Chain A
Amino acid sequence: MTSAPSLLERRAGRAERDRHIPGEAGLWILIFGDMTVFAVLFAVYLHNRGAQPVVFAKSQETLNRNFGAINTLLLLTSSLLVVLATRAVRGQARKHAPRLVAGAMACGLGFIVIKIFEYHDKISAGLTPSTNKFYMYYFVLTGVHLAHLVVGLVVLAVLGNLARKPELTSTNLMFFEGGACFWHMVDLLWIVLFPLLFLVR
């Protein structure tokens, strides 16, 4: 028997001792640390927007909202697939897990393709980080997020390999949960970035 609690135990137990840290505690320092850094970036962006509301609103008009929204849907879908993959490796439907992870990765790659189109549109129209403060923040925030997404894809590739193993140890399962949470964080950060950069004005 592994040390990871079974599904039944998890469902039944609401007592504090039965509660379960997804992945491991150290990972959550990284995740909350990253989320805090992004929260500061959100604040800096909004603070600068307050100083130049017209510049920000006019520049935002040039963004393609559909690209941003489709990317949101892609990440939400990839997150769902990772949740289903996590359930699969824990339970009976193990054989589905590699395909679910591959599907999540495909959504992540789709996000990158759309971002390339988006950046290409802007840069070929002469809109670069040096154009004004809005574009500076747009490129920095989406760029830092994209870097996280690329790291997330590498993590998913590792999870995909784990999912193919015939037996998973409790350490393997813990790593799977942790990697899944990192991917959900990439999704979660985009959920705030998309409205901030594309919608709110």
Chain B
Amino acid sequence: MTTMLRTRASAIWIVLVLATTLSWTLGSESGFGTESHKIASVVILVVALFKVRLVGLYFMELRDAPTALRAIFEFYCAAVCAMTIGLFLFA
């Protein structure tokens, strides 16, 4: 059982949990509407799409998928990241 847990997927899980904790902390800071929280929000969105990419590449195994499938996924991550940040800042 323990050897089974010592996998790359478990290491990725630890990164995902740490990233979640970072966003949780950043998002819980008081003072909404301030300039610093705007920056924190952009960081939170970048972290979110970084996490999405990790789930896709390592958990869905798109890292080992045909290039076209992986490319669609990479495009999705980049597009959603740009779209959410763009709309957050300028909508």
**Which chain A positions have C-beta within 8 A of B49?**
192
Q: Which residue in chain A gives the minimum CB-CB distance to B67?
A: A16
CB distance from A57 to the nearest CB of B (A): 5
**Which chain B positions have C-beta within 8 A of A201?**
32-33, 37, 41
A50 at the interface (CB under 8 A from B): yes
Instruction: Among A36, A76, A199, find the residue whose CB has the most chain B CB atoms closer than 10 A.
Output: A199
**Which chain B positions have C-beta within 8 A of A35?**
76
**Which chain B positions have C-beta within 8 A of A184?**
55-56, 59-60
A73 at the interface (CB under 8 A from B): yes
Interface size, chain A (Cβ < 8 Å)? 54
Bound-complex Cα distance A68 to B90 (A): 26
Cβ B17 vs Cβ A76 within 8 A:
yes
Cβ A80 vs Cβ B55 within 8 A:
no
**Which chain B positions have C-beta within 8 A of A65?**
24, 27-28
**Which chain B positions have C-beta within 8 A of A76?**
13, 16-17, 20
Bound-complex Cα distance A18 to B25 (A): 42
Chain A positions within 8 Å of B, measured between CB atoms, are 10, 16, 19-22, 28, 32, 35-36, 39, 42-43, 46-47, 49-51, 53-54, 57, 60-61, 65, 69, 72-73, 76-77, 79-80, 82-84, 87-88, 93, 96, 177, 180-181, 184-185, 187-188, 191-192, 194-196, 198-201
Chain B positions within 8 Å of A, measured between CB atoms, are 1, 4-5, 7, 9-10, 13, 16-17, 20, 23-24, 26-28, 32-33, 37, 41, 44-45, 47-49, 51-52, 55-56, 58-62, 64-67, 69, 72-73, 76, 79-80, 83-84, 87-88, 90-91
Q: List 22 A-B contacts (CB under 8 A).
A: A16-B67, A19-B67, A21-B69, A22-B62, A28-B69, A39-B80, A42-B80, A42-B83, A73-B17, A73-B20, A80-B9, A84-B5, A87-B4, A87-B7, A187-B59, A192-B49, A194-B48, A195-B23, A196-B48, A198-B27, A199-B27, A200-B27
* Extra pairs beyond A19-B64, A51-B91, A199-B41 (19, CB < 8 Å): A42-B83, A46-B88, A61-B32, A65-B27, A69-B20, A79-B59, A83-B9, A84-B5, A84-B7, A87-B7, A93-B4, A96-B1, A188-B56, A191-B51, A192-B52, A192-B84, A199-B44, A200-B44, A201-B32
